[in-house]
Structure 1
């Protein structure tokens, strides 16, 4: 007698399986099901049908191994597992609750299937074991798809929240900067108020930088990359201006600047100034207070090279590979005002995005003998994707 196959069993017993799934899910901690939500219950039905179709299809050994790792071949459009993850996120489910649903679904199918197989021992057991393996592989693939989609949507919503927050903070901060600047220039008020306004102005400017970094961070994650508006200009002038500003802001530190008399290129002066400010500021923050920060600018007919060096404790080797990743801070023995060192930890990430957006590369080397050195190389005349814009074209991003 031909063995009753699991694919047919699932299709023939859809409602009992779904009921078993709900009953089992009631015992899960934390509770994972909205019991009266028929739309979400239908997602389980769609997944069971997908599992049945998978069981009916032929599969090679390589496909089996791939699927067991959650990397099975995808069809066109969203899978039932991805649609389910999206709906569960909108319903307020955690990822732990999402995964627990698959545990319940797997348990309900195998429990009912086990009773059927136990009551019908005719035919070989080889097909039973094969069906169980295939079913578990299909469930693992669905879990991987659901978790990946859930994580993607969570990251997208987080970035959207940060973008809105940063945008909404700009106006009140602008008012604070303008108002404190106005008070600083007044000649008919006591010096103590001028001092208070100066401190307000400095704090507001630091907050504005944080907000701008936050907006750049979310823009690079939500959009096509860092927008660059390039035009002919003097890199020596831009770099010199940034160095002078940081010397004024950090009078206790020595910043050495070496550059040729002239070095023109096609670049976004605002973005390059932002990149230089981030890198030099990082060198000041993490470098030794008794050693200078060295900034050098050089170039040839094809490219510009910016080198920023500071002495001090080297970056640990296991941190080098992630130093440009967002929200990663390297623990170091640094000195100075704690309030001034507070940041989001995305300055190096933004610097890398700016360099890549110009078609360049940035690297870092760090050891006890030579200190920490950031080297940014950008082309003197990057290829333009539009008449006045050069737009980042990073992997997985498409220029608008």
Structure 2
């Protein structure tokens, strides 16, 4: 009795397998109800041909293990599994429905093959393992592409939303500012206008953070425009602004008499505002927030310290991850949640801005010394040419990128 290999079986019974695939796909509603036979079979034939070819190709033990984990070698072009995932996403399939198709495809092939080989041929059980590895690889490729496309769509939506909110919010800020300066309206209206203005400015900051966040996912990173400026002047401006906004909180600023560097003033001000604001929010209200600025010939160092509760060691590595604060607040009490919840992307954006300057942000937190965020960045950014006009230098992050 001759040995019948699974690869040959797939080629010989392609139509029967595809029909089983189509029959299952039509049970997935509502997407399948709007798709014709060609769309329902779109990439299944290509994947089955690839599976058959793979079964007929010798492979090492290392290659076998890699494929079972979805880490098999691949070419530069999109695979049939990746193209299939994009088509299914555009057709309205959920990721659960996408995965179910591979389960049905696997079941169809192995069930039909088992029925055929029971009566006709000697089988090679190694083919079953090889086939499962190939399906696992295709499934991993499909899910990865599906997830990537979903994230891209979400980020694009957030970018458009943030951009479109700017204009109406700008109108609110301008109108509130106009009312605040009026002399012919009752004081209570001026008070309301002041509250509107402050709330709109906070909303504006959230929108700017949202736009910066999407930039890090949709493009090369947060752009910066560097020029020579006074780091001391920027620090004093931000600290004085936060002292006005938080009169109940003591903020100490220690700095040398003069410190010039090449940097993006508005972006570094954004970093300082985020770090000091975070220190105020999570620090001990009875203890001062300390901002200390030092420098060497090569670097500028800014340390922001608060005396709040120390961050647990196992949480330190995730502090800069976006959205972590929201997740951490799920089990918090109602009062704590209302007081502390936010988008949770300020620290992430701060790190990206510092990276764009070629610098790093470190974090240390102990009960004895409190929590300290330390920004270390070069006084002369990488790529800046001495003698060029600093205000004309635009840059995307030359330093290491955050993991997304």
**CA shift for structure 1 position 2:** 2.8
Q: Go from structure 1 to structure 2 and tell me whether the alpha carbon gap of 1:31 and 1:182 turns closer, same or farther (over 3 Å shift).
A: closer
Distance 1:78 1:167 in 2: 32
Q: Is the 8 A contact 2:31 2:92 kept in 1?
A: no
Distance 1:180 1:278 in 2: 25
For residues 77-113 of structure 1, what are the alpha-carbon distances to aligned partners after superposition, in whole Å with 9 as ceiling and x for unaligned?
Answer: 0000000000000001100000000000000000100
Distance 1:385 1:159 in 2: 31
* Partner residue, 1:349: 348
Matched, 1:293 2:286: no
Matched, 1:377 2:376: yes
Q: Is the 8 A contact 2:159 2:210 kept in 1?
A: yes
Q: Go from structure 1 to structure 2 and tell me whether the alpha carbon gap of 1:75 and 1:185 turns closer, same or farther (over 3 Å shift).
A: same
What is the aligned length?
392
* Partner residue, 2:276: 280
Alignment of 1:20-39 (within 5 A): 20-25=20-25, 33-34=32-33, 36-39=36-39
Q: Indicate the SS of the match to 1:298.
A: strand
Distance 1:374 1:219 in 2: 24
Matched, 1:215 2:194: no
* Partner residue, 2:305: 309
Q: Indicate the SS of the match to 1:148.
A: helix
For residues 143-172 of structure 1, what are the alpha-carbon distances to aligned partners after superposition, in whole Å with 9 as ceiling and x for unaligned?
Answer: 000000000000000000000000000000
* Partner residue, 1:95: 95
**CA shift for structure 1 position 197:** 0.2
* Partner residue, 2:357: 358
Q: Indicate the SS of the match to 1:290.
A: coil
Matched, 1:193 2:189: yes
Q: Indicate the SS of the match to 1:256.
A: strand
Find the partner of 1:393 among 383, 389, 398.
398
Q: Is the 8 A contact 2:253 2:291 kept in 1?
A: yes
* Partner residue, 2:247: 251
For residues 294-336 of structure 1, what are the alpha-carbon distances to aligned partners after superposition, in whole Å with 9 as ceiling and x for unaligned?
Answer: 0000001000000000011111222111110111115699999
**CA shift for structure 1 position 22:** 2.8
* Partner residue, 2:388: none
**CA shift for structure 1 position 367:** 1.3
Distance 1:385 1:11 in 2: 60
Q: Indicate the SS of the match to 2:192.
A: helix
Q: Indicate the SS of the match to 1:230.
A: strand
Q: Unaligned 5+ residue runs, structure 1?
A: none
RMSD over aligned Cα, in angstroms? Answer: 2.2
* Partner residue, 1:14: 14
| TM-score w.r.t. length of structure 1 | 0.93
**CA shift for structure 1 position 384:** 2.5
Q: Unaligned 5+ residue runs, structure 2?
A: 386-391
